[in-house]
Chains A and B, each alone.
Chain A
Amino acid sequence: MTPKELALKSIGYRKNILKYIYGANAGHTGGSLSCIDILNVLYNHTLNVGPDNFKSPDRDRYIQSKGHCVEALFVVLADKGFFPESDLETLCRYKSHYIGHPTRKVNGVEQNTGALGHGLPISVGTALAAKMDNKAYRVFTLLGDGELPEGSNWEAALTAAHYKLDNLTAIIDHNKLQITGRTSDVCNTDPIDLKFESFGWAVRHVDGHDFKMLQETLDELPFTDSKPSLIIAHTVKGKGISYMEDELKWHHGVPNKQQYAQAIEELDNAVATL
């Protein structure tokens, strides 16, 4: 897909994220909007995974460590045909399998996540299994930036480098916000790149909303032979909706009727600017 086609797709994804969060009156709006362009490029450009090969042991794996942004994942999985989009009308409802975090009860979901700091260790294990079995599949995981202080991430970062897992890519959705405030004020993790490099990873920075840059960067994986790769994706929490961008309260804020209407209008207007 061309960057422009991807951009058009992301507008549709954003509309659906908001539609189902609005419908469920629950969800992680800001962080879903910050990572959706990354998921878009992963599922529509990079990963060799879809409903047809999801049972294949050779498929690429995507494991979402920042599980709270499940709405972004569900919307993309629906678009890829893993399940009918109308299923998402049951999001968070009684007896639905579409809960507020990824679960394997939903077709296309690799791992049950939601407690932060689990995605990277599981991804390391999955990538290690590929090495043991001489398989070519690759493993991708998406982390939040607020999630980084979990010690498990750093333990897994050591293991990944130790076993030279160049089939593993971690992407950090670096939107600079978490629940309490700016990530740099809550627990400063800068410089993320130097920390991972010193742990033996190959690191690149990208604009997490630049489709061309995301495509080109992902095409160059692994960045260095025998090293795991880290992509620090600079993003904007709430991206695409003027009043949500970089605003703390939209971490799990749900738009009211008028806000929802305005958001959809802004997204519709964005189509013309592509």
Chain B
Amino acid sequence: MGAIIDNVLVSDKANLDVFSGTLQNLAELDRDIVVVTSDSRGSGKLGPFGQKFPAQIVEIGIAEQNLVGVAAGLASAGKKVFAVSPACFLTARALEQIKNDVAYSDNPVKLIGISAGVSYGALGTTHHSLHDFAVLRAVNNITVVAPADNFETEQAIAQAANSNHPFYLRFGKKVMPALPTDIDNSFSFVKGRIIREGKDLTIIGTGETVYPAWQAAEKLEQDYNIQATVISMHTIKPLDYELLARVAATGKPIITVEEHSVYGGLGEACASFLLQHNYHNPFKIMGIPDEYTVTGSQNEIFNHYGLSESGIADTALKILKQKH
């Protein structure tokens, strides 16, 4: 599958591959682009980048706090810095550096959390990042983004590179099919992308959960004649309140789906807005529950917790049956 968006052919790859490819294109034109890694260039698919631009990559070794501190210093001196490390270590271990040296000091580092969520599957909890939205939502002055497909990834990287403020962008390893662009073929931060429109309910996904949300919507239409709107809420913070208010105004159920703890992420961000603005739509947060995460591949973990076509469709059927 492939889609032509703004005359750029985007064929299905892992978002991580698109990230590294986009970064190479940018680095070619701009010698101030610098990548900083912590023994993570292989997992970041940055081997070719390192070979092509040896003067634009800084290897720190296994030391994520140092990685973020050094990145902040480079950024303060005018470099356009991408600090690339597994999301789990980057946002947990180096949180204070992110909070103080990047966000608080407004050093425009682009933090790239690779193999995010449960991408590392059976490597277990040390390697999962189910907390990153939650902690970074509570840190002032950082934009938090989880692109859904290759198009969003490419746009997000290119646009973030030109911003003078901090960003956290999170990617998985899985090949992500292109999402339909007939309704919305543009990308800008803080503006949720409508993937599909329907009158019966709204499913809001982010990152790698948008695709199963879209699959579930297709299934609901085919099997039950239920029409669902699907939104890629790629920017978790700031959140697209305008779009949220628009779908809430229909009074129809809203389901959020994220590869993150059900605590503190996309779902609770939406819930907080809705309640405080007197929207009382039937509402369900789908994500990873607060428990010892089951062992398995990313797919097995998604299926186990219902973050799949059938799991999301079932949740939709249940919420539609509820009285409201």
Point out residues on A near B: beta carbons under 8 Å.
24, 26, 67-68, 92-101, 103, 105, 112-117, 146-151, 178-180, 186-187
Min CB gap A248→B, angstroms: 9
Point out residues on B near A: beta carbons under 8 Å.
37, 39-43, 59-66, 88-89, 92-93, 121-127, 292, 294-297, 300, 304
A150 to B295 Cα, complex, angstroms: 27
From A95, A179, A186, A187, contact of B294 by CB (8 A):
A95
Min CB gap A73→B, angstroms: 14
From B60, B127, B295, B304, contact of A187 by CB (8 A):
B60
From A103, A146, A150, A178, contact of B124 by CB (8 A):
A103
A67 to B126 Cα, complex, angstroms: 10
Contact B295 A101 (CB under 8 A): no
The verdict on A149 contacting B127 (CB below 8 Å), with A95-B295, A97-B295, A180-B39 known, is: no
From A68, A151, A180, contact of B63 by CB (8 A):
A151
Min CB gap A145→B, angstroms: 10
From A68, A92, A114, A179, contact of B295 by CB (8 A):
A92
Contacts of B304 in A (CB 8 A): 94
Contacts of B294 in A (CB 8 A): 94-95
Query: Nearest chain-A residue to B67 (Cβ)?
Result: A149
A144 to B304 Cα, complex, angstroms: 34
Min CB gap A23→B, angstroms: 13
Q: Other CB < 8 Å A-B pairs besides A94-B295, A146-B62, 5 of them?
A: A24-B122, A92-B295, A99-B122, A117-B93, A146-B39
A180 to B49 Cα, complex, angstroms: 13
Contacts of B88 in A (CB 8 A): 115
Q: Top 6 closest A-B pairs, CB basis?
A: A187-B61, A114-B126, A92-B122, A149-B61, A149-B63, A94-B296
A50 to B64 Cα, complex, angstroms: 36
Query: Nearest chain-B residue to A185 (Cβ)?
Result: B59
Contact A101 B123 (CB under 8 A): yes
Contacts of A115 in B (CB 8 A): 88-89, 92-93, 126-127
A99 to B295 Cα, complex, angstroms: 7
27 pairs, CB–CB < 8 Å, chain A vs chain B: A24-B122, A67-B126, A68-B123, A92-B122, A93-B122, A94-B296, A94-B304, A95-B295, A96-B122, A99-B124, A100-B123, A101-B123, A112-B125, A112-B126, A113-B126, A114-B124, A115-B88, A115-B89, A115-B93, A146-B62, A149-B61, A151-B66, A178-B39, A178-B62, A179-B39, A180-B41, A186-B61
